[in-house]
Amino acid sequence: MARSERDVINFSALESELQAAVESDRRRTRENDAKLRAVSQRVSYREFRDLVLTCHLRPLERKDKDGAPRRQPWNPVAPSNG
């Protein structure tokens, strides 16, 4: 029995297709949860849209903020003390 090219499985392509499908499912679930939360909060359409568009963001943790260099001074017009 000869094997044709159709019989050979491309595992790397299969793996990438699986990863894309899993990420798509995660995104759909995340957006649907954001929609349900927004509807229960009775927000305007603009706020609803913003909540859904930003549902992939996560809040900063304390370790993310502590000790990090400041990129923007509180008052950029005031002279620096450094």
In a domain, 25, yes or no: yes
In a domain, 1, yes or no: no
> In 3-state terms, what secondary structure has residue 25?
helix
In a domain, 39, yes or no: yes
Q: Which pLDDT score is estimated for 66? A: 73
Whether 79 and 55 have beta carbons less than 8 Å apart is answered as no
In a domain, 21, yes or no: yes
In a domain, 74, yes or no: no
In a domain, 18, yes or no: yes
Our count of domains for the chain comes to 1
Whole-structure pTM value: 0.60
Q: Which pLDDT score is estimated for 2? A: 59
Q: Rounded distance, CA 45 to CA 40, Å?
A: 13
Confidence of residue 81 (pLDDT cuts 50, 70, 90): low
Q: Which domain holds residue 39?
A: 11-56
| 41-72 tens-digit pLDDT | 999 999 999 999 999 988 878 777 777 676 77
Confidence of residue 74 (pLDDT cuts 50, 70, 90): confident
